[in-house]
Amino acid sequence: MTRTLPAPPATRMVAACLLAAVALITSGCTQRSDEARMESDPRPATSGGSAAPAPSLDWAPCRGKLTSQAGLQCATLAVPIDPSTPDGPTLDLALARKKSTGSADERIGSLVMNPGGPGGSGLEFLANASMAFPSSLTDRFDLVSFDPRGVGESDPVRCLDDDQKDEQLEGDLSPDDDTERAHSEAQQAELRKGCETRNPDLVTHMSTADVAADMDRIRAAVGDEKLNYLGYSYGTAIGATYAAKFPGNIRAMVLDGSVSPSASVADQAMVQATGFERTLGNFVTTCDADKSCALAPDTAAAIESTRRSLEEKPVEVKTGAGTRTLTSDLFDYGLATALYDTSTWGPTAKAIKNIRSGGAKTILALVDRQTGRQADGSYDNSSDAQTMVNCADQNDHLTEEQARVEEEKIRAAAPTFGGLLGAGLTGCNDWPAPAEPTPAPSAVGAPPILVIGTVGDPATPYEWAQEMSAALTGSVLLTYEGDGHTAFLRGGPCIEDAVVDYLVDLTLPAVGTRCPAQSTGGGFGGTRDMLVEQLTGSGIPKEMATCMVDGMIEKVGEAEFDDMVLNNDVDGITKLAQAAALGCATSGGG
């Protein structure tokens, strides 16, 4: 359950699709000439260490569905499986970029990004989020992201097949007796064996230190003498490790939603569980105070009543991939996912209220967003990669007896989520030692780094940002006073201006700067109000924005549209957005 993969706020992604649709229609649906001239797939480049001649990248239009729709260019870069053996066997890293829109004189270089996870696809992140970046950055930087080794399109690892993953999720996710714990331990052993036997070449080369070495080769390949980097969530670990290994190769580094720089496996689970519990309290308080919230005026009682109802009688949900069951454990899993992003709170409240009349499907969509389960029942490999990275990086291990004691402490401190996050503390026991252990975060010899922490972040609690800033000598901590996971692209102008000023001019915010919480728009009134507000805030006339959003919802229905948003169904939303934008443009927006 310790998955900390941030997606762009769901409604922000839909707003970006609508803005792209408007741009496509007003431009006459023409293809950019620089992309039209490119014809072939990129050829793998030869790799080299940071001191070796930099390889060139053969950029070409992306062929993946999401990346091609976003107009990105793609390339591959061959890197050594063992970074300490540059001439040894290699793997291919998949890269994507959105070229700078400014002049050559304005361009600073590339802004390399990682969305977190571990196991998050940088290509998917860039495809989903590229429209949300301010022009003050896209004029100055190529936006570049990559699938880390073993993830997505970069020689993906696999530990379990789809049926095995379904079985693991259908089991007891918060075991609390000997029989349930024995079953959970057997599942952990199955996962560990699958990772080792199916990925023999990479099982000892999936540490964050390996990823940091790959990123230095990316820096050289894009032609930058110094790295500009934006890391979210687990991406902060990549950045901090890079700073420890290559401090002299950094120009600017933003770490948003920091993981702990030093926590033990038990402490990490404790802090994260209490972080989710704290944000759930904020959700309850906010909902109770808002008459438009479906669970008001007693949100806590409604959540508990729903959980008990599911314990007694789970809900079966018919999908295109067969019948699925929403259990009380999966309900908690979906609820935790909703806490990542305040723009999902309204639809989640409605789903809980209507849990037996369509709401269960919405909660399962939230679960799928975390586990990488697709609409057809298949899974991406994000959870496999996450397991392999987490176990490679874990440097302490508990006995079963010690784990039992720690689990009980976590359950007591976090009654809702402690069972989920306290389970599996021994899952990485007997894991093969990594070829290169990940070093402690350090910034000795690096320029000042910007660390961002969100006070109400459930997945990477604020105290971790404080610890990371303290560990990185000379860094500055920027605080966002809101809720949700990470701040940049969702924390309003105060956060955005601070990040832009730093990345462009290397001007850091004053020590102690705190940015106020921002409304996601519409409160608990629903996805529609949020989208209309975000589109009007992006310069679309309100009449046009309302027409477009209403057109999308009318096409599929409100409940189905909420599910598409919560599940980041970019393909489906893009088709709806293009049709809605065309219809509103031809009708005059009303």
467: enclosing H helix or E strand: helix 462-471
- Shared-domain flag, residues 334 and 301: yes
Give me the pLDDT at residue 348, please: 94
Query: Which pLDDT does position 46 carry in this prediction?
Result: 34
CATH, residue 75: 3.40.50.1820
Is 7 inside any structural domain? no
Residue 89: per-residue pLDDT? 97
Reference 5, options 152, 217, 144, 167; nearest CA is 152
Within a domain: 546: yes
Q: SS3 letters for 139-171?
A: CCEEEEEEECCCCCCCCCCCCCCHHHHHHHHHC
Range in 83-87, 294-298, 405-409, 531-535 the model is least confident about: 531-535
Q: Residue 574: its pLDDT value, please? A: 77
DSSP conformation letters of 359-383? IHHHHHHHHHHHHTB-TTS-B-SHH
Q: Identify whether 310 is part of a domain.
A: yes
- What percent of the chain is predicted at pLDDT more than 90? 71
Helix (H) or strand (E) holding 110: strand 109-114
**pLDDT at residue 451, as a whole number:** 99
pLDDT at 294 over 90: yes
If one compares 132 and 329, the residue with the highest pLDDT of the two is 329
Mean pLDDT of the 548-567 span: 82
DSSP string across 175-241: --SHHHHHHHHHHHHHHHHHHHHH-TTTTTS-SHHHHHHHHHHHHHHTT-SSEEEEEETHHHHHHHH
Tell me how far apart the alpha carbons of residues 143 and 108 are, in angstroms, rounded to a whole number. 11
Mark which of 321, 353, 371 sits at the end of a domain: 371
Residue 27 lies in a domain: no
* pLDDT reported for residue 363: 95
Name the maximum alpha-carbon separation found in the chain: 68
Which residue, 379, 337, 461, 485, is CA-closest to 165? Answer: 379
pLDDT band at 39 (very low <50, low <70, confident <90, very high): very low
How much is the average pLDDT of 61-89?
Answer: 94
128 belongs to a structural domain? yes
Which of 36-50, 273-287, 326-340, 450-464 bottoms out in mean pLDDT, i.e. has the lowest? 36-50
Confidence bin at 31 (pLDDT 50/70/90): very low
398 backbone dihedrals φ, ψ, rounded to 5° = -105, 150
| pLDDT over threshold 80, residue 90 | yes
Q: For residue 50, name the pLDDT band (cuts at 50, 70, 90).
A: very low
Regarding whether 167 and 146 lie in a shared domain, the answer is: no
Query: What is the pLDDT, as a whole number, of residue 528?
Result: 76
Q: Are residues 311 and 194 in the same domain?
A: yes
Residues with catalytic roles: 233, 457, 485
Q: Is the pLDDT of residue 552 over 90?
A: no
The answer to whether residues 317 and 456 belong to one domain is no
pLDDT band at 334 (very low <50, low <70, confident <90, very high): very high
* One domain for residues 238 and 312: no
**Domain co-membership, 479 together with 577:** no
Q: Which domain holds residue 146?
A: 61-155+227-262+443-515
Residue 256: band (very low, low, confident or very high) from pLDDT cuts 50, 70, 90: very high
**Sign of the alpha-carbon dihedral angle for 399, 400, 401, 404:** positive
Domains contained in the chain, number: 3
Burial of 153 (0-12, 13-18, 19+ CB in 10 A): buried
Clarify whether residues 340 and 471 are in a common domain: no
Reply yes or no on whether the pLDDT at 11 is more than 70. no
pTM: 0.88
135-186 confidence digits (pLDDT tens): 999 999 999 999 999 999 999 999 999 999 999 998 889 998 889 999 999 9
Same domain, 317 and 343: yes
Q: What is the mean pLDDT of residues 38-52?
A: 37
What is the pLDDT at residue 584? Answer: 86
In terms of domains, do 255 and 110 share one? yes
Residue 34: pLDDT over 50: no
Which tens digits make up the pLDDT trace of 373-418? 998 999 999 999 999 999 999 989 999 999 999 999 999 999 999 9
Q: Clarify whether residues 112 and 247 are in a common domain.
A: yes
488 with 563, same domain: the answer is no
Residue 557 lies in a domain: yes
Instruction: For residue 30, name the pLDDT band (cuts at 50, 70, 90).
Output: very low
